[in-house]
Amino acid sequence: MLVKEVQHETDYQVGIQVRKILHIDMDAFFASVEQRDFPALRDRPVVVGGDPNSRGVVAAASYEARRYGIHSAMPSAVAVRRCPHAVFRKPRFEIYKSVSAEIREIFYRYTDLVEPLSLDEAYLDVTRNRVRCPSATRLAHEIRHAIRTETGLTASAGVAANKFLAKMASGQNKPDGLTVITPEESEHFLEQLPIGEFHGVGKATREKMQSLGIYTGSDLKQWHEADLVRHFGKSGHRYYHIVRGRDDREVKPDRIRKSVGKETTFSEDLSDLELLQEIIAELAGKVAASLDRHGVSGKTITLKVRYRNFETVTRSVTLQNHVRDQTTLARVASNLLKETEAGQRQVRLLGVTVSSLDTHFSQLGEQLEIDFRRHA
């Protein structure tokens, strides 16, 4: 197979414009969050979903559970028959949403062109990016590393010239994989791919295609566009183009920022309150500089604390007036630290955010930071 994990820099040409698209897909997201938050569940088959004794369905399954043929949308009663010793967990959607928001903040450090598809996957256009890195492959490495370091979870990534190929690539080396499909490799990859593995080809369409003798991408490629449209309606146009690696869809962001913040993850967990207060002052200074640079102020100040076991808490206060000076931000955030268990418990991350801004924030470009240089 020509699709592989690569380390080199890669450019992609679509028409006359170079495009670099990432598809980031979290690995067994809901189940992985449960295994992270409850260490006793690690390496065990975990199923997130409804009660197996009722009419519930599976929302997510860990990779240990998938070995028994358990998958999402399967009735929970079927899942428990396939793996009687599986651990069933009720979904904690508020937790999943919170973790998803953290992951998206990582994406926005690199580009504003982020198109979330769900809580656990998104497209990123990194053709032009905030860190001015010419290599989409390197950016994918960095993003996956940041996700693992800051959330304790793994993600798989696909790198390609367009959204369809990037989506196909991200599923090739799961879990915790990185796959690049170059323009030179794309046609061969698609030709040998079973038709049921094409993104957007569901069970009914697969069966219809197979009844017409279409079992692989190579078979599909033999069909004229008009014939595909006759059999599959408007979708026929899409099938004709994607089997040739063509997809001109843009990454469409749907986000308006309403806050500015900075956070740092420590290379070693900290419990020294004096040092934590110093770090808060540093973060407050960076936030103040960002607010001042853009001429905005905020009323709500939030302190984020992540403990050693990845438990995350936030403490917020809303002031009567808008502020943006470092002294006030540092003082308020330091007081909020006293409302946490920092000092009694080791801390791996601190963050300071200002929201309730006095002007529209959609034009601002400040992102959260990660600093791996901090040592205890």
User: Band of the pLDDT at 24, cuts 50, 70, 90?
Assistant: very high
Q: In this prediction, what percent of the chain has a pLDDT beyond 70?
A: 89
The pLDDT value recorded for residue 11 is 44
Evaluated on CA atoms 19, 20, 26, 27, the torsion sign reads positive
Angle (nearest 5°) at CA 291 between 285 and 297: 115
Helix segments in the chain, DSSP class H: 29-37, 63-66, 76-82, 93-108, 136-151, 163-170, 183-192, 203-211, 217-221, 225-232, 235-242, 273-294, 326-337
CA–CA separation, 341 and 323 (whole Å): 27
Q: In this prediction, what percent of the chain has a pLDDT beyond 90?
A: 74
317-332 residue pLDDT tens: 999 999 999 999 999 9
Question: Residue 262: is its pLDDT beyond 60?
Answer: yes
The pLDDT value recorded for residue 188 is 92
Q: What is the DSSP letter of 249?
A: P
Tokens found for residue 330: 């540092």
121 is catalytic: yes
Q: Is 354 exposed, middle or buried (0-12, 13-18, 19+ CB in 10 A)?
A: buried
Region 186-211 average pLDDT:
94
User: Band of the pLDDT at 256, cuts 50, 70, 90?
Assistant: low
Tokens found for residue 179: 């796959």
User: Band of the pLDDT at 17, cuts 50, 70, 90?
Assistant: low
The pLDDT value recorded for residue 210 is 97
The radius of gyration of the chain's CA atoms, rounded to the nearest angstrom, is 23
Look at the block and give the residue holding tokens 């930071």: 369
Tokens found for residue 244: 């040739």
Comparing 101 with 228, which gets the higher pLDDT? 228
The pLDDT value recorded for residue 67 is 96
Region 339-351 average pLDDT:
94
Q: Of the listed 121, 150, 185, 263, which one is catalytic? A: 121
3-state secondary structure of 98: helix
- Domains of the chain in start order, with CATH, are 1-192 (3.30.70.270), 193-242 (1.10.150.20), 259-357 (3.30.1490.100)
Instruction: Judge whether 23 and 123 are in contact, CB under 8 Å.
Output: yes
Region 251-263 average pLDDT:
78
For the residues of 109-151, what is the DSSP string, one character each?
A: TT-S-EEEEETTEEEEE-SS-TT--S-HHHHHHHHHHHHHHHH
Q: Is 132 exposed, middle or buried (0-12, 13-18, 19+ CB in 10 A)?
A: exposed
